[in-house]
Structure 1
Amino acid sequence: MLAVNNLTKTFGQNVAVDDATFTVDQPMMIGIIGRSGAGKSTFLRMMNRLTDATSGVLEFNGRNVLDLKGHERRAWQSDCAMIFQQFNLVPRMDVVSNVLHGTLGRRSTVATLFNLFPRDDIHRAIDILERLGIAEHAAKRAEALSGGQQQRVAIARALMQDPKIILADEPIASLDPMNAQTVMEALRRIHEEDGRMVIANLHTLDTARRYCDRIIGMRDGRVVFDGTPGQLTTGVARDIYGAGDDFSEGATSTEIRDDHEQLEEAERLLAKVTV
């Protein structure tokens, strides 16, 4: 389905993505991990055509999407929906209208200008909100919702595009553990129930292992790991993050743990600092 070959992006003398190569032969949920600046976001932006590649090939179903222009490029961006860390909603607009904005790519200029939506689209938007557990907030302004709820609105907007691929750029980075879990479970259900490919940039190893079928590790723009969650050992993680023996997965965990578990983790980390 997806073939990435020698994909490279440079900004002047800086190489953001360096000769990335991998293939995906079926819809799956893929997590891309790595420290900040590893090239994860730039890769997704090239895939969605928000940023042009410097060189390389990115094929989906045999078509190089990097060559698309004009209408074909916009059509690809509908097929390859993007979810952002900061939600990118219109704060003062009601929730259902934000979701309906997922149809902008196929609407006329006049309909867009006057915010006119077909009844079928409105019903579909509400159905999607229901599926994500937030239909009761449809008439509220987006800014009135919690961060986790706003991210689910952003997911609903992406689903309105009926995409073949959903790209999620750090979708839980600004969320608390409870909301992070809700958002990741929603993305996982979308993959399993709809058969859509989901590619998510993630900071935390426990999240990648728990929700993803496949994990790609990036360091300094290069793909340095490509394997299953079970193959992502602590040693491999050290290599991906360029960390030493003191690397602690617990410091990046988003798992919901009880007070006793959190106290044990805090004592363990304190002991290391004391030594």
Structure 2
Amino acid sequence: MLRIDKLTKRFGANVAVDSATIDVDRSMMVGIIGASGAGKSTLLRMLNRLTDASAGAVHYGEVEITALRGAEKRRWQSDCAMIFQQFNLVPRLDVVSNVLHGTLNRRSTLATLFSLYPEADIHRAIDILERLGIAEHAPKRAEALSGGQQQRVAIARALMQDPKIILADEPIASLDPMNAQVVMDTLRRIHEEDGRMVICNLHTLDTARRYCDRVVGMRQGRIVFDGTPAQLTTGVARDIYGADASFSEAATSTEIRDHAAQPVHA
């Protein structure tokens, strides 16, 4: 389904992603973990074609994504929706207009300039907001919402694209624990109910273990782990993050919490 073959990104002498190879043969929720600077965000940006690869290839089915140009590249970016840590909403626009921006890749420049949306798209945007539990905020400015609500608006915008894959780049990094759980529950539900592949960059081990079917660990641009949440032991986590004392304490406490909790998708 999705094949990443020796994908590499260089910025001058710095190698941000080094020969990453991943093969995802069915729809699942994949978590990518690693310390800051491990290459997680660059990897997702190459999948979405926001950043061009220096070497290697990405295939979705029979299509080589890394070779797409022009309109074909824009179509792929509609099929491969991106959710960002800082939401990337237009703060002064109302919520429903932000969600409708998910249709921009398939609209004419004139229609976009004058914010002309078909009635069917407006109804669909509201239906998606209803599904995510925030329809009552549709007429409000995006900037009036809490961080967790804004991230759900960003998810709604992604769903408006009707994507095959959703890429979430640190979607809960700026949220408090309660809102982080709501956002992760939402992404997991979208995967289960819609059958969409979700690939999510995450910082915390417990989140990856709880929500993901598969976990990929990156360190200094290279993939150093690819397995199930059950295989993500403290020893493996040390290989991903390094053996510094602060991480050791975090890994131990995470392991204790995880033994006491059942995965949401068990």
Q: Give the TM-score normalised by structure 2.
A: 0.93
Q: How far apart, in 2, do the equivalents of 1:110 and 1:45 lie?
A: 28
Instruction: Give, in angstroms, the shift of residue 248 of structure 1.
Output: 2.1
- Which residue is 2:78 aligned to? 78
In structure 1, C-alpha distance between the alignment counterparts of 2:253 and 2:39, rounded to whole Å: 19
SS at match of 1:101: helix
Q: Are 1:232 and 2:218 an aligned pair?
A: no
CA contact (8 A) 1:90 1:98 kept: yes
Contact kept? 1:205, 1:252, Cα under 8 Å: no
Q: Which amino acid aligns with 2:175?
A: L
Amino acid at match of 1:82: M
Instruction: Kindly report which structure 2 residues correspond to 1:233-252, keeping only aligned pairs within 5 A, or say none.
Output: 233-244=233-244, 247-249=248-250
Coordinate RMSD, CA, aligned? 1.4
- The secondary structure found in structure 2 opposite 1:248 is helix
Amino acid aligned to 2:17: V
- Give 2:71's aligned amino acid: H
State the percentage of identical aligned residues: 76
Which residue is 2:202 aligned to?
202
Q: 1:155 to 1:252 in 2, by over 3 A?
A: farther
Equivalent residues, number: 254
Pairs within 5 Å for 1:257-268:
none
Residue identity matched to 1:105: N
Task: Give the 3 Å change call, closer, same or farther, for CA 211–101 of structure 1 in structure 2.
Answer: same
2:233 partner letter = T
Question: Cα distance 1:155–1:60, how it changes in 2: closer, same or farther (>3 A)?
Answer: same
Corresponding position of 2:261: none
Kept in 1: contact 2:65–2:76 (CA 8 A): yes
Q: Which residue number in structure 2 is paired with residue 265 of structure 1? A: none
Per-residue CA deviations over 1:91-134 (Å, capped at 9, x if unaligned) read 00000000000000111111101001111000000000000000
CA distance in 2, matches of 1:248, 1:2: 35
Cα deviation for residue 249 of structure 1 reads 2.6
Give ranges in structure 2 of 5+ residues lacking alignment: 258-266
Looking at structure 2, the residues matched to 251 and 161 of structure 1 have their Cα atoms a distance apart, in angstroms, of 40
Amino acid at match of 1:35: A
Structure 1 residue 245, shift from structure 2 partner? 5.9
**What stretches of structure 1 move > 4 A for 4+ residues in a row?**
250-253
Aligned residue number for residue 108 of structure 1: 108
Shift of 1:74: 0.3
CA distance in 2, matches of 1:173, 1:237: 19
User: What is the match of residue 97 of structure 2?
Assistant: 97
Which residue does 1:216 correspond to in 2? 216
The 3 A distance-change label for structure 1 pair 177 and 116 is same
Q: Which has the larger radius of gyration?
A: 1
